[in-house]
A and B are shown apart, each in its own frame.
Chain A
Amino acid sequence: MASYEEFLEEKSKIDELVEKGYRIGKVEENLSGAFVDFERPNEKKQSEKKQLHILNPDTRKYFSNLLIAQQKNK
């Protein structure tokens, strides 16, 4: 898969979670890329979690921009 297509695919997964109210909770990076934990409170005020494994460098920039914006708007 071309790098740009991979970026678009990963970005759409992130956008989908953000649209559903998830925020980035934690990021862990290792040799395999970035593991980004998304969280949102549910009706029972418990935290619902989803994790995305991000491979693409442009997507890693993308979620970093989101994270910085999220921290600024906190």
Chain B
Amino acid sequence: MADLRTNFAGIKAPNPFWLASAPPTNTGYQVQRAFEAGWGGAVWKTLGDPILNVSSRFAGTSYNGKQVMGFNNIELISDRPLEVNLQEIYETKKKYPDHAVIASLMVEPQQEKWHEIVKKVQDVGVDGFELNFGCPHGMAERGMGAASGQVPELVEKQTMWAKEAAEVPVIVKLTPNITDITATALAAVQGGADAISMINTINSLAGVDLDSWNTIPHVAGKGAHGGYCGPAVKPIALNMVAECARDPELNNIPISGMGGISTWSDAAEYMLMGAGSVQVCTAAMHHGFSIVEDMIDGLQNYMDEKKLETLDDIVGKSVPKYSDWGDLDLNYKVVARINNDVCINCNKCHIACEDTSHQCIDMLTAEDGTDYLEVREEDCVGCNLCSIVCPVDGAIDMVEIPNGEPMTWNDRQAAIKQTSTSATELA
């Protein structure tokens, strides 16, 4: 059976499934309950000066009857005194010495503040720190969280200050509310981070109530932007993990990936794209801690099927397949083929192609009067839209068509540039 034991930047855990710093890791009771359920680690809800919260904090977004496609929150960091949290961390670590307990930290961007909190917290035996440079709401208005995480110089400085006092690994948690996450990742590396984690939540407003015209959620008729997470953000987060994993300037720094991970397969995708551990919040809030059982079983079964023995055999294996658009092969060609034995003639593919793509699916009638759909392959650009909107598995295949030697945009532009160089030389 595959070995899921994890050594992430020196932080050891029985498996790579960690609870993210959030409401599920607010107390020792919860974290211990999570470890009993099977979670390999937990990032304790962010410690700092105890805050005050508002009532009415969360909102879920649904899509077509699917609950919690996304999740919005305006809850801040821990509202409990540091000493209370430290006592519970100490007790938890004593009871579960083999599980990873990482303390998330957030203080004002001042050297002495970082030294003070790091020293106090590491004395109770945490396995590592995660610096919260990502929380987008509330704390950001006070110059912390995302406000400092959006400024590379502040990321670098604060990481350095935390590292000056830390004797255990320091993970820097990055905000996605930035144009290029590799810029702040690089700042973390330059500050001496042992690892980075991503993504924190995305600035969001979950909705507006059409009767009251209040925001969702609202606090006595007023709202403020929150942080968005859950399955809807997975593609955004996965790209950010991949962009960091493939950036040579980041020197293969370990990455803890999070953002919409609900199943073992989500986790496996993150790992293939370079995440050495994964963090989960929304799925645990939606379904409870026991979901980790399926995550562990699923990942183990997958690795056994693929004959992978340890996590080293999976982490980062898809990273070399992620590139720049200019390096993609312009000659690669796929076309849609409709399997008329399976097709139910709903015409969704025809409508999608005719209205919004390349008008290459014909509605035809056979000699026996049967209606059928057929792709004019020569006009098909291989956009995949028909297969995406098709409600029936196996009704539309995207088929590779041999189309000559590879040619990328970059190859092409270099060749064209060479023609003008030659022309200039001749002149």
Contact = CB atoms under 8 A, between A and B. Distances in A.
Contacts of A4: 376, 378-379
Most chain A CB inside 10 Å of its own CB: which residue of B407, B416, B422, B423: B416
Contacts of A20: none
Contact of B379 (A2, A24, A27): A2
B218 to A, nearest CB: 49
B407 A61 contact: yes
Most chain B CB inside 10 Å of its own CB: which residue of A3, A29, A64: A64
Interface of B is mostly: helix
Given A2-B379, A3-B358, A71-B415, A64 B420 contact: no
A71 B417 CA distance: 12
Contacts of B420: 26-28
B405 interface: yes
A57 to B, nearest CB: 9
Contacts of A68: 407, 411-412, 415
Contacts of B419: 24-27, 67
A9 to B, nearest CB: 13
A12 interface: no
Interface in A18-55: 24-29
B330 A61 contact: yes
B379 A65 contact: no
A50 B114 CA distance: 71
A65 B207 CA distance: 50
Interface residues of A, number: 15
B271 to A, nearest CB: 36
Interface string B400-427: 0000110100011001101110110000
B405 A3 contact: no
A61 B328 CA distance: 13
B345 interface: no
A3 B379 contact: yes
Contacts of B405: 65
A29 B423 contact: no
A69 to B, nearest CB: 8
Given A3-B358, A4-B379, A25-B423, A61 B331 contact: yes
A27 B407 contact: no
Contact of A67 (B330, B358, B379, B415): B415
A28 B411 CA distance: 16
Interface in B286-342: 330-331
B401 to A, nearest CB: 13
A28 B413 CA distance: 11
Contacts of A27: 416, 419-420
Interface of B: 330-331, 358, 376, 378-379, 404-405, 407, 411-412, 415-416, 418-420, 422-423
30 contacts: A3-B358, A3-B379, A4-B378, A4-B379, A25-B419, A25-B422, A25-B423, A26-B419, A26-B422, A27-B420, A28-B420, A61-B330, A61-B331, A61-B407, A64-B330, A64-B407, A64-B412, A64-B415, A64-B416, A65-B331, A65-B407, A67-B412, A67-B415, A67-B416, A68-B407, A68-B411, A68-B412, A68-B415, A71-B415, A71-B418
Given A64-B330, A64-B412, A65-B404, 14 more contacts: A3-B358, A3-B379, A4-B376, A4-B379, A26-B422, A27-B416, A29-B416, A67-B412, A67-B415, A67-B416, A68-B407, A68-B412, A68-B415, A71-B415
